[in-house]
Chain A
Amino acid sequence: MADKLRLQVVTAERVTFDDDVDIVVAPGSLGQLGILPMHAPLLTTLGVGPLRVRQGSEETILALTGGFLEVRDNRVIVLAEAAERAEDIDTARAETARQRALTALKEAKTSTDSLLAAQALQRSLIRLKVARPRHRPPMPQDRG
């Protein structure tokens, strides 16, 4: 029996993550979603949020914005619109983006404008959150 999952996080521009892992917690569009080895085949859309990965005692967090997640045969494929590791995030840029999104949100005239601004704000917030974790809830433990 397999006790590891193969996780691949791929964006249109590069492969961000490709390794064997113990558990994946992903921001599914219907809420957080934990995937352990031997998970049933699944295809879901993803929202904006942190993708948390545990390998042994080591934990990696990626900032994820939108995309899909497929599980089959102990392989998890994440096709993300954007995915960044905490260490790759430019906090200064994310902060500027947050300010810009806030201004845009205030000045938005149409509903499309405010929706776009809200999405941009969400993206900048998740980047900041992943880059500077303050209160990180403990990772769910293996039941085995």
Chain B
Amino acid sequence: MASLRQIRRRIRSVKGTAQLTRAMQLVAASKMRRAQAQVVAARPYAEKISQVIADVASQTVTPEGGALHPLLARRAHPQRVELLIVSSDRGMAGGLNTNLIRAAAQQISQEPAPVVATAIGRKGRDWLLRTGRELRAEFIGIGDRPAYLDIVPVARVVMDDFINGYVDRVDLVYTRFVNTLVQRPIVRRLLPVEPAEADRQRAIEYIYEPSPEQVLAELLPRFVEVEIYEALLEATASFHSAQMVAMRSATDNANEIVNELTLMYNQARQTSITTELIDIVGGSAGIGVR
């Protein structure tokens, strides 16, 4: 059995760990609340813009059947596909990034065309580098409170790749925030933009200023940005939730270990006291003290 001093040292060290994970849990909890509020705040804009795009969807095709804007152009047999992977910069969040990467890997293995990637977040970037995949761009250090402006350059990169014809499709891979306990990795089409099915009832003629082409030319890039922004906000909320849950179970585990060690320590202390007493009693009996 370990010596009393060794046990005492271990108790102290585990208690330190528990304190640390407890602090991280509390920080993650408050960041999670803020991130969730951000997700909720961004939703109306995303809903409205996709509604507007659906409203004009009937007019997104030229009379000859071609797409009215390059971002709408569907290409039948993709020669190359791009994944935009939204991971977190930091770890200590349980299986969050592992699950995300598994989903990305699965998507890549199902894809007949070659796959290139752009990464938001260090964890995804590191994985892409490790597996030797072509990395188009990386965006690290966006932080806990993403601003809309943070993702504008990201959108630029993927839209350029698509419009220049370097890739024929762009998919977005991120962790959707379902609730505090459940975060689910999902893969979603980003480009070409696919307007929601136009509602016949809603289909009406608009007055366009300056022209349908110009309105779409401004609307579509915004839409792509919003999709990425929403994904990043969801991923951020997911990260803080996953981290909070992971840190809570780490704190619980540490406390459990402290209890076990304390029990072990007390037993060892008692044993040593008993041994000492026996020694004293035995010794005094030997010299005949009564």
Contact = CB atoms under 8 A, between A and B. Distances in A.
B271 interface: no
B44 A10 contact: yes
Given A44-B209, A45-B209, A14 B41 contact: yes
A12 interface: yes
A32 B14 CA distance: 67
A29 B209 contact: yes
Nearest to B202: A72
Judged by DSSP, the binding face of A is strand
Interface stretch (B49-57, B80-88, B132-140, B249-257): B49-57
Interface string A84-126: 0000000000000000000000000000000000000000000
Contacts of A67: 222
Contacts of B206: 41-43, 72
B219 A41 contact: no
Contacts of B222: 67-68, 79
A79 B215 contact: no
A42 B44 contact: no
Contact of A13 (B41, B204, B218): B41
Interface string B177-212: 000000000000000000000000000111111100
Nearest to B41: A14
Nearest to B225: A12
Interface in A1-42: 8, 10-15, 28-30, 33, 40-42
Contacts of B225: 12
Main secondary structure of the interface of B (DSSP, over half): helix
Interface residues of B, number: 28
Contact of A79 (B48, B207, B209): B48
Contacts of A59: none
| Residue picked from B38, B55, B218, B225, most chain A C-beta under 10 Å | B218
Contact of B207 (A8, A14, A29, A42): A42
B208 to A, nearest CB: 6
A13 B55 CA distance: 23
Interface string B53-67: 001100000000000
A115 to B, nearest CB: 16
Interface footprint category on A: 20 to 34
B270 interface: no
Contact of B204 (A11, A41, A44, A68): A41
B52 A70 contact: yes
A10 B45 CA distance: 6
A72 B204 contact: yes
B166 interface: no
Nearest to A39: B207
B226 interface: yes
A45 B48 contact: no
A37 B41 CA distance: 28
B226 A12 contact: yes
Given A13-B148, A70-B55, A72-B204, A28 B209 contact: yes
Top 8 closest pairs, chain A to chain B, by CB: A44-B209, A12-B148, A42-B207, A43-B206, A10-B45, A41-B206, A14-B41, A12-B45
Interface of A: 8, 10-15, 28-30, 33, 40-45, 67-68, 70, 72, 77, 79
8 contacts: A8-B48, A12-B226, A13-B148, A15-B44, A28-B209, A41-B206, A45-B214, A45-B215
Given A10-B45, A43-B209, A45-B215, 8 more contacts: A12-B148, A12-B226, A41-B206, A42-B206, A43-B207, A43-B215, A68-B222, A77-B48
